[in-house]
Amino acid sequence: MNSSPLAILLFAVQPTFYRDVLPILQDRCQSCHRPGEIGPMPLLTYGDARPWAKAIREQVKRRKMPPWFADPAVGRFSNDPSLTATQIETIDRWAVEGAREGFPADAPPARRWAQGWNIGVPDAVIAMPQAFHVPPTGVVDYQFVILPAKFDEDLWVTMAEIRPGDRRVIHHAVLYVRERDSDWLRDEPVGVPFVPQGKRVTTSDILAIYTPGHAPMVAPAGMAKKIPAGASLVLQIHYTPSGKPAADQTRVGLAFQSSAPERRILTLQINSTAFRIPAGAGHYRVTAAGTLPNDALLLGMFPHMHLRGAEFEYEVNAPGGIAETLLHVKPYDFYWQIYYQLAAPRLLRKGAQLRVTAWYDNSPNNPRNPDPGEEVTYGEQSDEEMMVGFFDVAVPAGATKELFFKR
Ligand code: HEC
């Protein structure tokens, strides 16, 4: 059979792996789908992707991958990985039309992923000096480790990444900056994991958070987080047993800039601990609000709930203005704790009210519900609930949390 010009043209526009699909995988998938990251299989090469073609098509058509839960009608976010309709169509056709390889010469330049760290080569790496042994079963209290690092002068952190030693047993980790004068965990040992005897909650600033799907802290240009001279870094880790014994030695990577930036980033939160979610309630609402004590530039938001979390919303109400929704996460997915970084930082005026609203599904319809028959209150473990709206703001470089909260 002679090829008709039409057939040749059709062949030419049939999507191929190297020309059409690989650029999408590089841009939107490989951050997780490569060795050492959380994706269950690598998607670096044609050999990697070919057997998954059908599954890839399904996941992207249903918009399950890449994971993202912000209502597209509300706000714009610089870390939104969602595929465009055209990209989804390309993958769809590629998979349906035989998942062709095409020509390696059409491939975009290979993306050089850093080995291990996602922030490049860190200026400093601080590790837990000894492993924590996670039992195969049971519930493990939050562990705290005061890292053995001394800071003799102020440091400005532009990037920070928490790198679990064994991801399978880490539910989340938070890295706090405990300032010199803070008495939080003052009598606890340095370098060894412990469960605090005294108070666990702290107003210490947060430098980085690890949860599946949470990108490392990367400060926008002209901004940084501060480790003031004399401060210590404290890791809080929630271990969840995986059925087998495990040992974890988590590391922290930091990148610095030598001079003070224009603005300092602070991580603040609005939360509620005084709620009772009735047994069986399908759409139970909890709200909390705070008033901005001073002007601040809002950079991003990070909602946190547990297994009954269903939806989460942030709203701002400027003095004399009307309420405006900044972020609406729906559905909320406990297994994807995602930070939503605003595409354009937003000035919040002194006096503006920031309100967060959480909805919980404690009904039997929620497949993740550990026990619909139970009234649920605040607690750290996943079968208890939390309600926290974290948010990052930029303030003048000379500000501290105390100064910021002086009205
Ligand atoms: C933020 C990290 C992340 C990104 C980005 C991401 N994935 Fe995933 N992917 C995961 C994880 C973790 C799983 C397994 C858990 C799950 O399915 O939720 C997964 C599961 C999958 C599966 C199902 C595998 C199976 O066992 O059936 C496919 C297919 C997939 N991803 C394709 C993609 C594609 C294609 C992209 C880019 C368009 C992408 N992923 C982007 C983390 C990610």
* Domain boundaries, given as residue ranges, for the chain: 5-106, 114-260, 262-407
How much distance in Å is there from the Cα of 33 to the middle of ligand 1? Answer: 7
Which of 21, 22, 59, 111 has most ligand 1 atoms within 8 Å of its beta carbon, as the pocket-test mutant? 59
CATH class of 114-260: mainly beta
Find the 296 Cα to ligand 1 centroid distance in Å: 36
Nearest atom (ligand 1) to Cα of 52: 29
Q: In the predicted model, is pLDDT for residue 345 greater than 60?
A: yes
Q: What is the pTM of this model?
A: 0.90
114-260 matches 262-407 in fold: yes
Query: Where is pLDDT greater, at 3 or 305?
Result: 305
Place 1 in a pLDDT band, splitting at 50, 70 and 90.
very low
CATH number for 262-407 (one of 2.60.120.10, 2.60.120.230, 2.40.10.330, 3.40.50.10860): it is 2.60.120.230
User: From ligand 1's centre to the CA of 65, what distance in Å?
Assistant: 6
Q: In this structure, what DSSP letter does residue 402 have? A: H
Instruction: Please give the full DSSP string across 86-113, using - where no structure is assigned.
Output: HHHHHHHHHHHTT-----GGGSPPPP-P
More confident position, 215 or 47: 47
Nearest to 262 by CA among 403, 397, 404: 397
pLDDT digits (tens, 9 = 90+) for 181-207: 999 999 999 999 999 987 777 889 999
- How far apart CA 169 and CA 135 sit, in angstroms, is 10
Q: Name all residues whose Cβ lies below 6 A of ligand 1.
A: 28-29, 31-33, 38-40, 52, 55-56, 59-60, 65-67, 81, 83, 213
pLDDT band for 10, please (50, 70, 90 cuts). Answer: low
91 Cα nearest atom in ligand 1: 35
Least confident of 138-142, 239-243, 379-383: 379-383
Residue 375 amino acid letter: E
405 sits in which H/E element: helix 401-405
User: Who wins on pLDDT, 269 or 407?
Assistant: 269
Atom 23 of ligand 1: nearest residue by CA position: 55
Helix (H) / strand (E) containing 238? strand 232-239
Distance 329 CA to ligand 1 centre (A): 19
Report which protein residue has its CA nearest ligand 1's atom 27.
Answer: 55
HSE, CB side, 13 Å, CA atoms: give it for residue 159: 17
pLDDT category at 165 given cuts 50, 70, 90 is very high
For ligand 1, atom 35, which residue shows the shortest CA distance? 56
Residue 115: pLDDT band with limits 50, 70, 90: low
Name the residue among 289, 304, 312 with its Cα closest to residue 380.
304
- pLDDT recorded at residue 396: 95
- Angle value at C-alpha 264, between 337 and 156, nearest 5 degrees: 90
Ligand 1 geometric centre to CA of 397 (Å): 39
DSSP conformation class of 40: S
CB–CB of 340/297 below 8 Å?
no
Confidence of residue 236 (pLDDT cuts 50, 70, 90): very high
Distance 59 CA to ligand 1 centre (A): 8
Residue owning tokens 């800071």 = 151
